[in-house]
């Protein structure tokens, strides 16, 4: 059953817009937002073929973990610019039988040969494009081991069954969508390596919308993975191919087989904060997503948003909360296995004090980081957030009540532009700070051997009375954090229909200018924010919010109309 459609144009006309200077990708073919309902199970993913693959697994009695494997394998084929076996990610899992929420870290790692000066040349940081494209930007992928890891813990169906749709599509081909074709046409340096050029630019021209595209090399990789699990990616032929590809590139990387052999998925405690009676839970370090979303919500809880409603005051408060939270993020947050993290970033008294810095009538014009309760006194220098292209998010709820909320990525769209065995390699190491230190001290997110770069990925599960009420997340680089926080406020504070919450025009502030999403109403929103002292930029903010809400009447799902995702369920 489907509720009445809600167009993005209508949303833009009603509410406040917002976007950022380096969008994850440009919005193409804006679709219609709708809330899909189901009684037993549901998948919301960034491509119809991926959602269908997950739905097939759920119909066969598979768990949310089983469906996650099938969904990700298909996404790596049909949405290769965003995620795949050459990347990593973060996954939250709700085990209904044990009433337990766990967080799984499959973030890529730096080579053991990497040093803090990894991104310096003659003492100066490399230029953006010199760094992000090529072998030096590639970290050890985590996605293959994540899929094996989550299936081993929560799978119900045989491993081999989960590969059927992806193998068939890779062999027989699939239709190139407008979004994929536009992404290929817009990408820089896709022709720098033979494998990527031959696949994405056949006969020298970008893939065209509607073209039939097969990937026999990916099919071979899937068959090997179906038979041997993730081992070939970490100690076998595929790992050797990745190392050779990275080290042969003219922007040579330092990865070795020892780096791959040492890689592990880490099960971590989720980061949770109370918000108006619910528990909002996400990923902790090395992702900054859960903590920064949590800080924004913890600051905003000091204001009665349900009573304030959806007006300019609420928009101003949201932007100011973002500035305060990003000030802390950029100074303190990084891989906590390598650097000390303040224990009090979500402390109630600390967030109350941060909220008192907000003037309801005027922008603060830039926030300073706070001093949360913690023991370390070492000087630190802030790292700047860098929006990137790429990344995907999917949510799944199976018939027994297990839930997956997963964000996976190869970093910028098309990653490093290096391809092997039918999949692209990430450029995740550019999520580290380019300069390891500044005038104030060391940067927490500096490169170190074996370290995981800071992420903004924010897969989220909201618990109400001890059970899941909502699963949500988005791609979007550093913008993921305000995308998710804004949707949460729409749902939890204003009880917005799910499709309206994910289609709602974006406004965000990463402790700089406030970005307003271009579209109807953007000019008026920008003018009103400017009258309150905000520096405003109107931009194309391309999120990919996907959500499932669990209600007394069943399941609701919605996909962000800015991309091509769908919600499927029964």
- 391 tagged catalytic: yes
Q: The tokens of 382 are what?
A: 């802030």
List CB contacts of 558: < 8 A, sequence separation 6 or more: 33, 34, 35, 36, 44, 498, 499, 501, 502, 545, 546, 547, 567
HSE-CB of 552 using CA atoms within 13 angstroms:
0
**Helix, strand, coil shares of the chain as percentages rounded to 5?**
35, 20, 45
CA distance 559 to 565: 5
Q: The tokens of 519 are what?
A: 């579209």
Q: Are 476 and 543 in contact (CB under 8 A)?
A: yes
Helix axes 164-172, 216-228, angle to 10 degrees: 160
What is the CA angle 60-66-70, rounded to 5? 90
One DSSP character per residue, 165-205 reads HHHHHHHH-EEPPHHHHHHHHH-SSTTSSHHHHHHHSGGGS
Q: How many CB atoms lie within 10 A of CB 122?
A: 4
CA distance 76 to 82: 8
Which of 37, 143, 245, 391 is the catalytic position? 391
Cis status, amide bond into 286, omega within 30 of 0: yes
Helix, strand or coil for residue 485? helix
HSE-CB of 28 using CA atoms within 13 angstroms:
15
Element containing residue 223 per DSSP (H, E): helix 216-228
DSSP assigned state of 109: B
Q: The tokens of 509 are what?
A: 């502030």
Q: How many CB atoms lie within 10 A of CB 563?
A: 28
What is the CA angle 46-458-373, rounded to 5? 175
DSSP assigned state of 236: S
Alpha helix (H) residue ranges in 79-156: 128-132, 143-154
Residues marked active site are found at: 391
């Amino acid at each position: 059953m489907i509720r009445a459609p809600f167009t993005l144009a209508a949303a833009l006309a009603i509410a406040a817009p917002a976007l950022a200077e380096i969008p994850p990708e440009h919005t193409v073919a804006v679709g219609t937002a709708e809330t899909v309902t189901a009684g037993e199970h549901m998948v919301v993913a960034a491509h119809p073929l991926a959602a269908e693959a997950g739905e097939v697994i759920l119909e066969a009695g598979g768990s949310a973990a089983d469906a996650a494997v099938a969904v990700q394998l298909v996404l790596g084929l049909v949405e290769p610019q965003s995620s795949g076996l050459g990347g990593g990610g973060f996954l939250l899992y709700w085990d209904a039988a044990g009433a337990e929420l766990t967080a799984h870290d499959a973030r890529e790692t730096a080579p053991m040969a990497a040093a803090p000066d990894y991104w310096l040349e003659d003492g100066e940081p490399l230029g953006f494009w010199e760094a992000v494209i090529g072998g030096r930007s590639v970290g050890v992928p985590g996605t293959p081991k994540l899929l094996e890891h989550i299936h081993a813990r929560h799978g119900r169906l045989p491993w081999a069954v989960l590969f059927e749709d992806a193998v068939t599509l890779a062999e027989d081909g699939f239709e190139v969508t407008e979004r994929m074709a536009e992404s290929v046409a817009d990408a820089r340096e896709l022709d720098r390596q033979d494998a990527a050029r031959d696949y994405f630019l056949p006969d020298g021209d970008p893939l065209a919308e509607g073209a039939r595209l097969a990937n026999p090399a990916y099919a071979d990789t899937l068959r090997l993975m179906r038979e041997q699990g993730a081992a070939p990616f970490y100690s076998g032929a595929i790992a050797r191919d990745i190392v050779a590809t990275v080290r042969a590139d003219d922007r040579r990387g330092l990865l070795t087989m020892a780096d791959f052999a040492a890689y592990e998925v880490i099960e971590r405690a989720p980061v949770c904060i109370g918000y108006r009676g619910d528990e909002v839970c996400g990923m902790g370090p090395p992702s900054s997503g859960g903590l920064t979303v949590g800080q924004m919500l913890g600051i905003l809880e000091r204001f009665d948003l349900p009573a304030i409603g959806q007006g300019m005051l609420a928009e101003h408060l949201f932007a100011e909360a973002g500035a305060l939270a990003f000030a802390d993020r950029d100074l303190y947050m990084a891989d906590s296995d390598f650097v000390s993290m303040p224990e009090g970033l979500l402390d109630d008294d600390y967030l109350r004090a941060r909220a008192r810095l907000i003037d309801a009538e005027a922008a603060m014009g830039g926030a300073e980081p706070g001093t949360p309760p913690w023991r370390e006194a070492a000087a630190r220098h802030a790292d700047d957030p860098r929006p990137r292209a790429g990344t995907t998010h999917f949510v799944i709820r199976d018939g027994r009540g297990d839930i997956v909320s997963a964000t996976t990525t190869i970093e910028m769209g098309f990653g490093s532009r290096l391809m092997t065995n039918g999949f692209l390699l990430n450029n995740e190491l550019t999520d580290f700070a380019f300069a390891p230190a500044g005038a104030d001290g060391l940067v927490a997110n500096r490169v170190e051997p074996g370290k995981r770069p800071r992420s903004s990925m924010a897969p989220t599960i909201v618990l109400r009375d001890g059970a899941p009420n909502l699963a949500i997340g988005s791609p979007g680089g550093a913008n993921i954090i305000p995308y998710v926080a804004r949707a949460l406020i729409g749902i939890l504070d204003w009880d917005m229909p799910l499709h309206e919450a994910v289609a709602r025009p974006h406004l965000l502030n990463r402790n700089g200018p406030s970005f307003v999403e271009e579209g109807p109403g953007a000019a008026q929103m920008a003018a009103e924010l400017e009258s309150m002292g905000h520096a405003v930029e109107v931009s194309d903010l391309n999120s990919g919010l996907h959500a499932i809400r669990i209600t007394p009447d069943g399941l609701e799902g919605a996909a962000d109309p800015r991309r091509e995702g769908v919600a499927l369920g029964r």
